[in-house]
A and B are shown apart, each in its own frame.
Chain A
Amino acid sequence: MKKLRGSLWAKVLAITLLCLLALGCTASTVATAYLYDAGAYDGGYDRAVSRLLNSLGREYANNAGLNWLENGTTDVYRDTNFRYAVLDAEGGKVLYSNWQSENALWSETVYVTAPYDVWTETKSEEQPEELSDPDGAEPRVTPTPRPGEPVLTPRPAKTVYVLVDHFTGERHEFTDRAGIAGWERAHSVQVQGYVLRDMTERDAFARRLELFNEVYGLRAVLPWLAGAALLLGVLLFVFLMSAAGHRDETDAVTPGFVERIPWDLFTAILGLGIIALLFAIGEAFAFEVPALVLCGGAFLLAGLLFLLWCMSTATRLKLGSLLKSCLLYKLLRWCWNAVKAVFRALGKLPLIWKWAVGVAGLALVDLIWRMGSLRNEGLASTGWLLLWLLVGFVTCYAALAFRRLRLGAKRIAAGDESATVDTKRLVWDLKDHAGDLNNIRAGLSRAVDERMKSERFKTELITNVSHDIKTPLTSIVSYVDLLSREELDNDKAKEYVEVLQRQSARLKKLIDDLMEASKASTGNLAVELQRCELGVLLEQTAGEYAERLEQAGLTLVTDKPAEPVAVLADGRHLWRIFDNLMNNICKYAQSGTRVYLTLAREGEKAVVTFRNISRERLGVDGKELTERFVRGDSARSTEGSGLGLAIAQSLAQLMGAALDVTVDGDLFKVTLTFDAAK
Chain B
Amino acid sequence: MHTILICDDEKDIVAALKIYLEAEGYRTLAAYSGAEALETLAREDVQLVLLDVMMPVMDGITAMAKLRETSNVPVILLTAKSEDTDKVLGLNVGADDYVTKPFNPVELLARVRSQLRRYLQLGGGEVKSGVLVCGGLTLDDRTKTVTAEGESVSLTPTEFEILKLLMQHPGEVFSPGALYRRVWNDEPYGAESTVAVHIRHLREKLEIDPAHPRYIKAVWGQGYKLEKRD
Q: Given the known A-B contacts A539-B196, A546-B197, are A475 and B13 also in contact in the complex, defined by CB atoms under 8 Å?
A: yes
A547 to B196, CA, bound (A): 11
Q: Which residues of chain B come closer than 8 Å to A531, judged between CB atoms?
A: 221-222
A137 to B227, CA, bound (A): 142
Selected interface stretch from A257-265, A449-457, A477-485, A625-633: A477-485
Q: Is the CB of B223 within 8 A of A536?
A: yes
Q: Which residues of chain B come closer than 8 Å to A471, judged between CB atoms?
A: 10, 13, 80, 101
Tell me if B's interface is mostly helix, strand, loop or mixed. helix
Instruction: List residues of B (95-127) whose CB comes within 8 Å of A's CBs.
Output: 101-103, 105
B69 at interface by CB-CB < 8 Å: no
Determine which of B12, B81, B105, B197 lies in contact with A543 in the assembled complex, contact meaning CB atoms within 8 Å: B197
A526 to B218, CA, bound (A): 19
Q: Is the CB of B218 within 8 A of A575?
A: yes
Q: Which of A466, A475, A532, A572 has the most CB of B within 10 A?
A: A475
Q: Is the CB of A571 within 8 A of B220?
A: yes
Please give the distance in Å from A559's CB to the nearest CB on chain B.
Answer: 10
Instruction: List residues of B (162-183) whose CB comes within 8 Å of A's CBs.
Output: 175-177
Q: Is the CB of A515 within 8 A of B82?
A: yes
Q: Is the CB of B193 within 8 A of A467?
A: no
B195 at interface by CB-CB < 8 Å: yes
Q: Is the CB of B54 within 8 A of A543?
A: no
Please give the distance in Å from A462's CB to the nearest CB on chain B.
Answer: 13
A544 at interface by CB-CB < 8 Å: yes
A512 at interface by CB-CB < 8 Å: yes
Beta-carbon nearest neighbor of A578 in chain B: B220
A569 at interface by CB-CB < 8 Å: yes
Q: Is the CB of A479 within 8 A of B10?
A: no
Total interface residues in chain A, CB < 8 Å: 41
Q: Is the CB of B102 within 8 A of A473?
A: yes
Q: Which residues of chain B come closer than 8 Å to A476, judged between CB atoms?
A: 102
Q: Given the known A-B contacts A512-B82, A537-B220, are A474 and B196 also in contact in the complex, defined by CB atoms under 8 Å?
A: no
A63 to B222, CA, bound (A): 122
Determine which of B16, B105, B222 lies in contact with A571 in the assembled complex, contact meaning CB atoms within 8 Å: B222
Instruction: List residues of B (197-224) whose CB comes within 8 Å of A's CBs.
Output: 197-200, 218-223
Q: Is the CB of B220 within 8 A of A539?
A: no
A344 to B93, CA, bound (A): 66
Beta-carbon nearest neighbor of A535 in chain B: B192
Q: Given the known A-B contacts A543-B200, A571-B219, are A479 and B12 also in contact in the complex, defined by CB atoms under 8 Å?
A: yes
Q: Given the known A-B contacts A474-B13, A481-B105, A482-B19, are A543 and B199 also in contact in the complex, defined by CB atoms under 8 Å?
A: yes
Q: Is the CB of A474 within 8 A of B103?
A: yes
A546 to B198, CA, bound (A): 10
Q: Is the CB of A479 within 8 A of B16?
A: yes
Beta-carbon nearest neighbor of A576 in chain B: B220
Q: Is the CB of A571 within 8 A of B197?
A: no
A352 at interface by CB-CB < 8 Å: no
A207 to B186, CA, bound (A): 116
Q: Is the CB of A542 within 8 A of B193?
A: yes
Q: Is the CB of A508 within 8 A of B102?
A: yes
A470 at interface by CB-CB < 8 Å: yes
A508 to B81, CA, bound (A): 13
A533 to B219, CA, bound (A): 11
Q: Is the CB of A475 within 8 A of B16?
A: yes
A332 to B8, CA, bound (A): 88
Q: Is the CB of B221 within 8 A of A533?
A: yes
Q: Is the CB of A539 within 8 A of B192?
A: yes
Beta-carbon nearest neighbor of B84 in chain A: A526
Instruction: List residues of B (1-28) whose CB comes within 8 Å of A's CBs.
Output: 10, 12-13, 16-17, 19-20
Determine which of A474, A526, A567 lies in contact with B10 in the assembled complex, contact meaning CB atoms within 8 Å: A474
B154 at interface by CB-CB < 8 Å: no
Q: Which residues of chain B come closer than 8 Å to A482, judged between CB atoms?
A: 16, 19-20
Q: Given the known A-B contacts A540-B218, A571-B222, are A475 and B176 also in contact in the complex, defined by CB atoms under 8 Å?
A: no
B145 at interface by CB-CB < 8 Å: no
Q: Is the CB of B176 within 8 A of A544?
A: no
Q: Is the CB of A539 within 8 A of B80?
A: no
Q: Is the CB of B176 within 8 A of A467?
A: no
A546 to B204, CA, bound (A): 14
Please give the distance in Å from B181's CB to the nearest CB on chain A.
Answer: 14
Beta-carbon nearest neighbor of A485 in chain B: B23
Q: Is the CB of A536 within 8 A of B192?
A: yes
Determine which of B20, B54, B84, B196 lies in contact with A542 in the assembled complex, contact meaning CB atoms within 8 Å: B196
Q: Is the CB of A532 within 8 A of B195?
A: no
Q: Which residues of chain A come closer than 8 Å to B80, judged between CB atoms?
A: 466-467, 470-471, 474
A558 at interface by CB-CB < 8 Å: yes
Q: Is the CB of A574 within 8 A of B221?
A: yes
Beta-carbon nearest neighbor of A534 in chain B: B221
B194 at interface by CB-CB < 8 Å: yes
Q: Given the known A-B contacts A481-B105, A542-B196, A543-B199, are A475 and B223 also in contact in the complex, defined by CB atoms under 8 Å?
A: no
A28 to B196, CA, bound (A): 99
Please give the distance in Å from A232's CB to the nearest CB on chain B.
Answer: 78
Determine which of A478, A481, A504, A536 lies in contact with B176 in the assembled complex, contact meaning CB atoms within 8 Å: A536
Instruction: List residues of A (561-578) whose CB comes within 8 Å of B's CBs.
Output: 567, 569, 571-572, 574-575, 578
Q: Which residues of chain B come closer than 8 Å to A569, judged between CB atoms?
A: 221
Q: Which of B17, B197, B200, B220 has the most CB of A within 10 A?
A: B220
Beta-carbon nearest neighbor of A567 in chain B: B221
Q: Is the CB of A540 within 8 A of B196?
A: yes
Binary interface encoding of chain B residues 76-87 relative to chain A, with 1 for a CB under 8 A from any of its CBs, else 0: 000011101100
A569 to B219, CA, bound (A): 12
Q: Given the known A-B contacts A533-B222, A536-B175, A574-B220, are A546 and B193 also in contact in the complex, defined by CB atoms under 8 Å?
A: yes
Binary interface encoding of chain A residues 77-102 relative to chain B, with 1 for a CB under 8 A from any of its CBs, else 0: 00000000000000000000000000
Q: Which residues of chain A come closer than 8 Å to B102, judged between CB atoms?
A: 470, 473-474, 476-478, 504, 508
Q: Given the known A-B contacts A512-B82, A574-B220, are A539 and B54 also in contact in the complex, defined by CB atoms under 8 Å?
A: no
Q: Which residues of chain A come closer than 8 Å to B13, judged between CB atoms?
A: 471, 474-475, 478
A541 to B197, CA, bound (A): 9
A478 to B221, CA, bound (A): 37
A567 to B221, CA, bound (A): 9
Beta-carbon nearest neighbor of A470 in chain B: B80
Q: Is the CB of B101 within 8 A of A544?
A: no
Beta-carbon nearest neighbor of A562 in chain B: B190
8 sampled A-B residue pairs with Cβ under 8 A: A471-B10, A474-B101, A477-B102, A478-B20, A532-B221, A540-B221, A546-B197, A578-B220
Beyond known contacts A478-B12, A512-B82, A531-B221: 9 more, CB 8 A cutoff: A471-B80, A473-B101, A478-B103, A532-B220, A540-B176, A543-B200, A544-B196, A567-B221, A572-B220
Top 6 closest pairs, chain A to chain B, by CB: A543-B196, A532-B221, A571-B220, A542-B193, A478-B16, A575-B220
Report B's interface with A, CB cutoff 8 A: 10, 12-13, 16-17, 19-20, 54, 80-82, 84-85, 101-103, 105, 175-177, 192-200, 218-223
Report A's interface with B, CB cutoff 8 A: 466-467, 470-471, 473-479, 481-482, 504, 508, 512, 515, 526, 530-534, 536-537, 539-544, 546-547, 558, 567, 569, 571-572, 574-575, 578
